[in-house]
Structure 1
Amino acid sequence: MTSTNGHSNGIRTSGDAKQKPNQEEEILPSFTPSFLERIGIGAFKLLNKAVPWYKLPGFIGAFNLAFLRIELRQYNLHDGYASAEAQGNANDNPLPDERYRGARHSDGKFNSLEMPLMGCRGMRFGRNFPRHLTQKPTEEELWTPNPRMISEKFMARRDGRFIPATTLNMLAAAWIQFQIHDWFNHVQSEEKFNVPAPEGGDSWPHPHMELFRTKPDEIRDPSDIKCPGYRNENTAWWDGSQIYGSSEEATQALRNQLPDGKLALDEIGAVSFLPRDKDGNPLTGFHDNWWIGMEMLHTLFALEHNAISDALKAAYPDMTGDQIFDKARLVNCALMAKIHTVEWTPAILAHPALQIGMNANWWGIVGERLTKMLGRISKTSDIISGIPGSGAEQDGIPYSLTEEFVSVYRMHSLIPDDIAFHSATTGAHIRTIPVASMTFSQAQKPLRSHTLTFPDAFYSFGTSHPGAITANNYPSFLRNLPTPDGQTRDLGTIDILRDRERGVPRYCAFRRLLRMSVPTTFEELTGGDKERADELREAYGGDIEMVDALVGSHAEPVIEGFGFSETAFRVFIVMASRRLKSDRFIAGAGEWGEGTYTKVGFRWVQDSGMRDVLGRHFPELRATLEKGGGKNVFAPWVKMGER
């Protein structure tokens, strides 16, 4: 297969035998960088032997990351299928309606007109590492060491002690789960694991821990036997499927035959709520793992969709309801992608190079002001003029989200055990509520009371801290969580087990395959924390190669300003920009602009941020948001009474 710029793909493997990955193994690049790109990659490699990227001045560090991203695109993108034929073709999968040439299809089809199934619902997750190095584990590998023991030792909050992330607010925690609901959801098998107790027992309060397995995709190639593919029930695009659904049928149901391009909401007095089904589940695109944080953000961006619809209707009265809906969805999705890129990411990765780099991802190094004034200065350069409108590109590998991307976004530590709610207008304490009592069908309950409003909830999230993404910081209720499907879950155990089940390499192998340095001792892994090193040594039988990727990432020293590990960040570097660059409705040179989005819609995307969205729908928050000045909305807000 060749990509749109003629890059070729391929990896050189040494057969199907499972082996310990090493830095010397030859993995062929998926494309050949330009001459200047190769010079940049080589120059920064030499520089980084003396000075790591995060110790360089911000602007130079941002360029270092840009060239590192090119190298990661070369070697750390791999298809989940043995053949690119799985992505379909235009002859066998023609457009059902010309409408979808300029509008998103809810199934995720036709983002690429040449590979119409790429990224759609039901397609496999890809890999950041070669498939022969991400094989299905043996039974011994699956259970060694015991995942319940690992959860107890390295996930549980010790003595209930909550470790806060003081540079962030709770909106940052809710936001990433809101985005994850858009991106991925594995197909669940009817078969179950019976997770054995560790030797000597543990604190799990039930006699058995049973969990549904991940369902492998059908075998399409002999390589699928040793390295199963796993399908994504969500669309993989940044298309707002958590709001709109991952099928056209779901989208139509959520519109509820409204003729004006809007999403259906329940209006109770002056307050809009997400509608409910007979079981109390929210009627939205994706409602698994539901809690009050999801209630707030799903409602907010349903309101935003409807506000965009009103603006389009006013500006273009001849538009049909379907046309308004299609344009409003494009605008809403692009706005969420922009907020994630230039606001959420710089908040959780608060490093000068990231501030510059993520802003450049959207606006280019020429910056927001010049890009708005003059448009794209460079037609194709991501670095000069940003990814939007630069031309969609797959870098030789069909687009998908990856199993390793899912792995590094295991961020349950962000959730506290309790949330203290305060008035958005006076700052007075209203009540403190355990998060466990605001989950699933109970998530809307506090907001339907007469004591707590949406503005109060957003103000309280804005002024309180999430948990730090580190060892021993999983909330207690998530380690004993009854779910609507009849399971009782320990998410710490699940997170470990899912990585092993799906062939995600262990920590040292994970780093080798990213061409990172690999610790040779437990003390080196923990940055000299001897107590933590001794705990890891005991739990993993003295074998550092056995440490799980998530456990190692939680134990390693964190770069100053970072909310998660550099190991996880390496996957983030390549996948964060890929979600933009692969999408023709964002990166497409012919699709990004007023021609597709309309003049009103395109201005809405370019001129709005999270501060605008919150203030638009909850005017009570404007005064507090203005007090923050230019401060990132995902950083702690200024509280009432504070200067």
Structure 2
Amino acid sequence: MANDTVRPEEDTKKDQDLVPSFKPGLGERIGIGAFHLINRLVPWYKLPGIIGAFNLAFLRIELRQYNLYDGYATAEAQGTEATEPMSDKRFLTVRNSDGKFNSLEMPRMGCAGMRFGRNFPRQLTPKPTEEELMTPNPRLVSNKFMARKEFIPATTLNLLAAAWIQFQTHDWFNHEESTEKVEIPLPKDDTWLNNHMYLHRTGPDDILDPSDTKCPGYKNANTAWWDGSQIYGSSEAATQSLRGQSLDGKLTLDESSKLGTFLPRDEEGNPLTGFNNNWWIGMELLHTLFALEHNSICDALRKEYPDWSGDKIFDQARLVNCALMAKIHTIEWTPAILAHPALQIGMSSNWWGIVGPTLTKAFGRLFNNSSDIISGIPGSGVNQDGVPFSLTEEFVSVYRMHSLMPDSIAFFSAAQDGKFLESIPLPSVAFGNASTALREGRFTMGDALYSFGINYPGAITNNNYPDFLRELKSPDGQVRDLGTVDILRDRERGVPRYCEFRRMLRLSVPKTFEELTGGNKALAKELEEVYEGKLEMVDALVGSHSEPVIPGFGFSETAFRVFILMASRRLKSDRFIAGRSQWGEEGYTKVGFRWVQDTGMKDVLGRHFPELKAVLEESKNVFAPWGMLADSKEYDGVETKDLKNVNK
């Protein structure tokens, strides 16, 4: 591992925003230095679990120092109490759907319409020239390195894990699209549609500072907080419409069918929820599940506090539901996709501290301390590490996980001992057809969730994008190759190419294509051909898909560096999670706080779909493959056209 960022000395001197905003303390600097020495001999993932977890804790501190940058040239963009007065004082203690007032000092921080930040200095993430944008041809890169040759399963995960991460990213980010289009030149013999491929550019923000000309900012249409905006919306108006005329704080659901409870639809059949783009049955299941969970929390609060208004119940239920999703992602989903002992310890410590859940639940934060490591991030005190909170362009980049999607899904009955029902190509349960099979009674939501628990997603690696995502027909009439889109988006938004991406994270950089691929000569040769022998031109996404993966990891160490920084930052920056006065019974109520602390994904599933309780009893992690019911046991988790051997 390289310990020093490669950077021209003159740039370091002249560029003001290369100066770190966060300064680690003396003890932290000693810890960082000690692990630098250790890692020269032994990488963190080969250390014993607890030592590896401490290694990651100090790595995270170093990343805070060098890899957090504002998307704005000045702090004025974040607003002040004078420029953004709070007209409704209830937002002192509850979330605003727009994301405003999470910080009382910087009320616009993290709200909808604010820019994405950066993990690298803005001066080093400039807008590319048109030649740089198209070199090498992004469609060629998609054809060579994204197109699925044969489904490669991720056998340590289930399809619920794939659905979950899309469910979460729909809460976190959504770039604004420009009306301007760019034409992608087609490689020789490419048969794309009518021989022309056009894609909308990302819409840049207004130029607010001269630096925005060279390094444009891009706005997030969603709130950046972990606030359930995919369910509740990113504006107060949207939230109110989803509640309808409810006086009990509940979200509106369609309970008219004998086949189950569904999300309501508009006149065109679109689901009425906070964020409904890129819709498929996985989103249908999770949006419905957590809308049901919100309503159950409302029932519990109404029982305990019968005199409360519907608004007060809603506000408290949303706080609880959002914190619960953050907790599930932190201590359940993450350890499933990053199944390494150090991560198991580290992610649990993010929430509970090293003292663990038993002591934290019983006594709260021990000694009333502010240590993230001892008692976890929730309630430890908010800290922005010198940079206003936002999600970053690089964070968006490392969450490009389209290869998780399978070609088709095998459905089984949860109520009939796992009996095989049918196999459906994924496009047939997407967009307007997402709930068709459910509403027709071909299987229930419980059946679908059980099926997601035993189906594998795709592995996050080269040549594993399903064909339908490389010719995706969306309801707005666009047809897109998401492989090409992923490459183009990173380039146009200034995300550095693979080698530079690693340098800025103080990681070693491969000297040859074969070193990059860990000795895979065939892949190295193909990379060298497409990138014309220029290792520095390899795209960040392609490089991270090509590098050897740490044992137990579902994605690359390159992507993991950004992940480990931003995963904890989303908790630490949020006053409704990290805030000392907000976290606990005072901010969540006794009923609500116990709900968050005592509930996991297994509880949520079992509460709303009791038929799943038995199969979940033996599950250690809901996002890992479930044990199968008797009649499903010959299914191997990988969908094929031939299911004759299932349920002989």
TM over 0.5: yes
Structure 1 residue 627: deviation in Å? Answer: 3.0
Query: Residues 147 and 463 of structure 2 are in contact (CA less than 8 Å); yes or no, is this contact kept in structure 1?
Result: yes
For 2:646, the equivalent position in structure 1 comes to: none
2:377 aligned residue: 387
Structure 2 residue 616 is the aligned partner of structure 1 residue 625: yes
Report the counterpart of residue 644 of structure 2 in structure 1. none
Identify which of 41, 44, 50 aligns with 2:41: 50
Q: 1:212 aligns with which of 200, 205, 208?
A: 200
Contact 2:242 2:252 in 1 (8 A): yes
Look up the match of 1:410: 400
Query: Residue 350 of structure 2 aligns to which amino acid in structure 1?
Result: N
* Aligned partner (choices 348, 354, 369) of residue 343 of structure 2: 354
Alignment of 1:222-301 (within 5 A): 222-267=210-255, 268-269=257-258, 271-301=260-290
- The answer on whether the counterparts of 1:13 and 1:27 sit within 8 Å (CA) in structure 2 is no
CA contact (8 A) 2:17 2:122 kept: no
Render the CA deviation track for 1:107-154: whole Å, top value 9, x for unaligned.
Answer: 000000000000000000000000000000001100000000000000
Pairing 1:607–2:605 present: no
CA distance in 2, matches of 1:550, 1:279: 36
1:302 to 282, 286, 291: 291
Query: How far, CA to CA, are the matches of 1:494 and 1:171 in structure 2?
Result: 25
> 1:12 Cα shift?
11
Measured after TM superposition, the shift of residue 15 of structure 1 is 6.2
Q: Post-superposition shift, 1:14?
A: 5.0
Distance in 2, matches of 1:305 and 1:270, equals 21
CA distance in 1, matches of 2:377, 2:617: 30
Number of the residue aligned with 2:564: 573
Alpha-carbon distance in structure 2 between the residues aligned to 1:636 and 1:98: 46
Q: Is 1:186 paired with 2:204?
A: no
CA–CA distance in structure 2, aligned partners of residues 403 and 371 of structure 1:
35
Question: Which of 434, 439, 442 is equivalent to 2:425?
Answer: 434
Residue 221 (1) aligns with residue 209 (2) = yes
Aligned residue number for residue 639 of structure 2: none
1:452 is displaced (CA, Å) by 0.7
Q: Distance between the aligned counterparts of 1:136 and 1:60, measured in 2? A: 41
Counterpart of 1:168 in structure 2 is 157
1:160-207 deviation digits (Å, cap 9, x = unpaired): x10000000000000000000000000111111111102x13242332
**In structure 2, what residue type is equivalent to 1:319?**
W
* Residue 560 of structure 1, aligned match among 537, 551, 559: 551
CA deviation after TM superposition for structure 1 residue 374, in Å:
1.0
**What is the Cα deviation at residue 13 of structure 1?**
8.9
Provide the C-alpha distance between the structure 1 equivalents of 2:374 and 2:108, rounded to a whole number of angstroms: 31
Supply the AA of the counterpart residue of 1:408.
V
Q: Answer yes or no: is 1:76 the counterpart of 2:42.
A: no
Cα distance change, pair 488–18 in 1 and its aligned pair in 2 (3 A): farther
CA contact (8 A) 1:18 1:133 kept: no
SS for the counterpart of 2:422 is: strand
Once residues 15 and 382 of structure 1 are traced to their aligned partners in structure 2, the CA distance between those partners, rounded to angstroms, is: 35
Q: Which amino acid aligns with 2:599?
A: S
2:486 alignment partner, SS class: helix
Structure 2 CA distance for aligned equivalents of residues 461 and 434 of structure 1: 14
Q: Does 1:375 align with 2:364?
A: yes
- Do the aligned residues in 2 keep the contact of 1:12 with 1:28 (CA within 8 Å)? no
Deviation sequence 1:8-39 (CA, Å, 0-9, x none)? xxx999569999xxxxx994222211111010
Amino acid at match of 2:540: A
- The answer to whether the Cα contact below 8 Å between 1:152 and 1:202 also exists between their aligned partners in 2 is no
Extract unaligned runs of 5+ from structure 1.
1-10, 20-24
Inter-CA distance 537–270: structure 2 relative to 1 (3 Å threshold): closer
Q: Give the equivalent residue in structure 1 for 2:542.
A: 551
Distance in 1 between the 2:279 and 2:259 partners?
24
Equivalent position of 1:472 in the other structure: 463
How many pairs were matched up? 623
The alpha carbon displacement at 1:269 in A equals: 2.4
- In 2: Cα distance, 1:299 partner to 1:232 partner: 25
After TM superposition, the runs of 4+ consecutive aligned structure 1 residues lying more than 4 A away are 11-19
SS in 2 for 1:326: helix
User: Of 608, 611, 623, which aligns to 1:634?
Assistant: 623
- What corresponds to 1:597 in structure 2? 588
Unaligned segments of structure 2, at least 5 residues: 1-6, 635-648
* Larger deviation, residues 98-107 vs 267-276: 267-276
Decide whether the 8 Å contact of 1:69 with 1:573 is kept in 2: yes
Give per-residue Cα distances to partners, 1:207-251, cap 9 Å, x unaligned.
211111100000000000000000000000000000000000000
Corresponding residue to 1:104 among 63, 84, 95: 95
Moved more, 320-329 or 477-486: 477-486
Amino acid at match of 2:41: A
SS at match of 2:447: helix
- Comparing 415-424 with 374-383, greater Cα deviation is found at 374-383
CA distance, structure 2, for counterparts of residue 151 and residue 336 of structure 1: 33
Q: Residues 423 and 429 of structure 1 are in contact (CA less than 8 Å); yes or no, is this contact kept in structure 2?
A: yes
Using the alignment, how far apart are the partners of 1:43 and 1:221 within structure 2?
41
1:455-486 residue CA offsets vs partner (Å, 9 max, x unmatched): 00000000110000000000010000111222
SS at match of 1:78: coil
Percent of aligned pairs sharing the same letter: 71
Q: 1:59 aligns with which of 50, 61, 78?
A: 50
Shift of the alpha carbon at 1:443? 0.5
Say if 2:379 and 2:582, in contact at 8 Å, map to a contact too: yes
Cα deviation code 1:359-389 (max 9, x no counterpart): 0000000000010111101521000000000
Q: Is the 8 A contact 2:17 2:69 kept in 1?
A: no
Quote the Cα distance in structure 1 between the aligned partners of 2:614 and 2:469. 35
CA distance in 1, matches of 2:268, 2:184: 30
What does the per-residue CA deviation read over 1:34-56, in whole Å, with 9 as the maximum and x for residues that have no partner? Answer: 11101000000110010000000
2:121 is the counterpart of 1:133: no
Query: Which deviates more from structure 2 when the two are superposed, residues 479-488 or residues 130-139?
Result: 479-488
Partner of 2:640: none
Per-residue deviation, residues 326-366 of structure 1 (Å, max 9, x unmatched): 00000000000000000000000000000000000000000
Whether the 8 Å contact between 2:259 and 2:444 is mirrored in structure 1 is no
Q: Assess, with a 3 A threshold, how the Cα gap between structure 1 residues 12 and 182 changes in structure 2: closer, same or farther.
A: farther
Q: In structure 2, the residue corresponding to 1:46 is in which secondary structure?
A: helix
Distance 1:123 1:190 in 2: 20
Distance 1:100 1:363, change over 3 A: same
Q: Residue 271 of structure 1: SS of its match in structure 2?
A: coil
Aligned to 1:190, the other structure's residue is in SS state: strand
Q: Structure 1 residue 488 and structure 2 residue 479: aligned?
A: yes
User: Contact 1:18 / 1:132 at 8 angstroms: preserved in 2?
Assistant: no
**Separation in 1 of the partners of 2:588 and 2:163?**
28
Aligned partners of 1:87 and 1:118 also within 8 Å:
yes
Q: Equivalent residue for 1:522?
A: 513
RMSD of the alignment, in Å? 1.7
Q: CA deviation at 1:449?
A: 1.4
Q: Within 1, Cα distance between the matches of 2:113 and 2:182?
A: 23
Query: TM-score when scaled to structure 1?
Result: 0.95
The code of the aligned residue for 1:385 comes to S
Partner of 1:423: 413
Distance of 2:134 and 2:327 partners within structure 1: 41
Contact kept? 2:336, 2:621, Cα under 8 Å: yes
1:507 has 2:498 as partner: yes
Q: Following TM superposition, by how much is the alpha carbon of 1:270 offset from its aligned partner in structure 2, in angstroms?
A: 6.0
Does the Cα contact within 8 Å between 1:274 and 1:299 map onto a contact in 2?
Answer: yes
Task: Please tell me whether the aligned partners of residues 13 and 26 of structure 1 are also in contact (alpha carbons under 8 angstroms).
Answer: no
Counterpart of 1:273 in 2: which secondary structure?
coil
